Amino acid sequence: MSNFITGLKASGNGMLVRISIIAAIGGLLFGFDTGVISGALLYLKKDLNANSTAQEWIVSVLLLGAILGAIGSGYLADKLSRKWTKVISGCIYVVGALGCAFAVSIPMLIGFRFLLGLSVGTASFVAPLYIAEVSPPRVRGGLVSFNQLLITSGILLAYLVNFAFSSTPDGWRWMLGVGVIPGAALAIGMLTVPHTPRWLMEQGREDEARAVLTKLRGSDPHADIDKEIEEIQKAKEMESSSRVRDLLKPNIRPLIWIGAGLAIFQQFVGINTVIYYAPTILKGTGLTNSASIAQTVFVGVTNVVFTIVAVLLLDKVGRRRLLLIGTVGLTVAIIFLGVFFASSWLQTNASYLALVALIVYIAAFAVGLGPVFWLMISEIYPTGIRSKAMSFATVLNWAANFVVAGTFLTLIALISTQGAFFVFGGMGILAIVFFAWKVPETKDKSLEQIQQELLGGDAKVSAALKSGSDE
């Protein structure tokens, strides 16, 4: 049986699963927004008279908001706590979704989409951060990846919501307004969860940290609360302060590179062009409008199903292996898609192969790079700088998303569809080399053990985190 299921059963306590799901609603907001706008846009552009520049702004301003949200919330997650940052993010989402649903002009819609972006950018990394800090090592991979599971479920939910309201008058207002429900669920749900033990220890609130850990570990026979507290304490003593410039310290820098590489390659292999443009890609193979939309739902389902596979396997097979297998798979698939579009013979005689390639691509992403990026950045950094370093990696991820989404159509115009897919394939090859060379295995280790191993033993950790200089 999967280590994840056995591990959860051993913990004998539903609290961990409950709070991980609540925290992962942050992922649902993220995914819902990614999926809903393309459908809503079809209708709102007529009602609000949006020309193509206005439409581009309506879509992409969310990514700009997300970049800013991710920057600001690294600080908030330390100062206010992970928990309260997520409550605020849920509230902002509710206001944003309502504002979009009732928007009477393009500037108003753009303004509220920006607000949604602030919330999504925050939720996108504080969710994995929170879950990693409450999870025991044996099931951390699966639990943190609930976040990715809810991202993919959010994308699928959005396709279904778009479909449900496609013939309702003012349907786009409903499509955007439905976001109020997960937003409120996040804000209210987060009020019921505890602070993370690691954040409490950073605040010097050891008694509370111990009480939370005791509840979280339930009757888990592998749990040793004293040892966990001692490890967190030891790791904390090695850190002096947590400032943004700490990210540049020589021992920390390699970890920042790993997070940056994962963040950028996750987007540069073209995932969101497939998510945003799947119907267009499929239509290019000669399908009708409705057939290509139906097949897009199939792509969405594959994304969810293979993320479940990842949740079950990450704690058994390991992060690194799944990352490498997945990235090889998606690279082969996208290069094949390039070959497909270059060959008129394949297009006429075997058009179903485009769908097969898209499905393989999505499945391979869902099993590796999708969840592993968010998981790794929640694991590899020391507690004192975790939220700032994660916020940095998240900013890069949103910025790379913005660049790819904003240039895809131009890229196709410049070098053709197949050319664009070959570029993504080339990125995939670079990604495989980088991951094989740099990305460590973190399965089964406590966050503090990972910190020790990556920074090279107590003395070096201490020196790395305490030294004021950048030497």
Q: Can you give the binding site for ligand BGC, defined by CB under 6 A?
A: 34, 148, 151-152, 266, 271-272, 275, 303, 370, 397, 401
Residue 376 Cβ, how far from ligand BGC at the closest point, in Å?
12
The nearer residue to ligand BGC, 20 or 81, going by C-beta atoms, is: 20
Residue closer to ligand BGC by CB (options 211, 423) is 423
Residue 3 or 266: the one with the smaller Cβ distance to ligand BGC is 266
Residue nearest to ligand BGC (CB): 370
Q: Are 259 and 439 in contact (CB under 8 A)?
A: no
Which whole-number Å values give the CA distances from 120 to 21, 23, 25, 175, in the listed order? 17, 13, 11, 17
**Measured from the CB of residue 289, what is the shortest distance to ligand BGC in angstroms?**
23
Nearer Cβ to ligand BGC, position 38 or 303? 303
Q: At what angle do helices 383-438 and 106-134 cross, to 10 degrees?
A: 90
Q: CB of 67: closest distance to ligand BGC in angstroms?
A: 13
Structure-token pair, residue 201 = 């220890």
Closest CB 453 distance from ligand BGC, rounded Å: 25
Q: Which is nearer to ligand BGC, 303 or 452 (CB)?
A: 303
- Closest contact distance (angstroms) between CB of 124 and ligand BGC is 7
Of 64 and 465, CB closest to ligand BGC: 64
- Give 74 or 371: the residue with its C-beta nearer to ligand BGC: 371
d(CA 310, CA 431): 19
Q: How far is the CB of 275 from ligand BGC (least distance, A)?
A: 5
Least distance between ligand BGC and beta carbon 208 (Å)? 32
Report, in Å, the least distance between residue 151 CB and ligand BGC. 5
Q: How far is the CB of 318 from ligand BGC (least distance, A)?
A: 19
CB nearer to ligand BGC: give 50 or 274.
Answer: 274
Which of 272/451 has CB closer to ligand BGC? 272
Q: How far is the CB of 419 from ligand BGC (least distance, A)?
A: 22
Nearest approach in angstroms of CB 244 to ligand BGC is: 23
444: left (phi > 0), else alpha (psi -120 to 50), else beta?
A: left
As measured in angstroms, the least distance from the Cβ of 331 to ligand BGC is: 17
Residue number with CB closer to ligand BGC (175 or 330) = 330
| Residue with smaller CB distance to ligand BGC, 130 or 199 | 130
Which residue shows structure tokens 């004192």? 384
Q: Are 78 and 388 in contact (CB under 8 A)?
A: yes
CB closer to ligand BGC, 302 vs 451: 302
- Whole-number Cα distances in Å, 237 to 208, 242, 267, 456, 462: 18, 12, 36, 16, 8
Instruction: Say what the alpha-carbon torsion angle 332, 333, 335, 341 is, to the nearest 10 degrees.
Output: 160
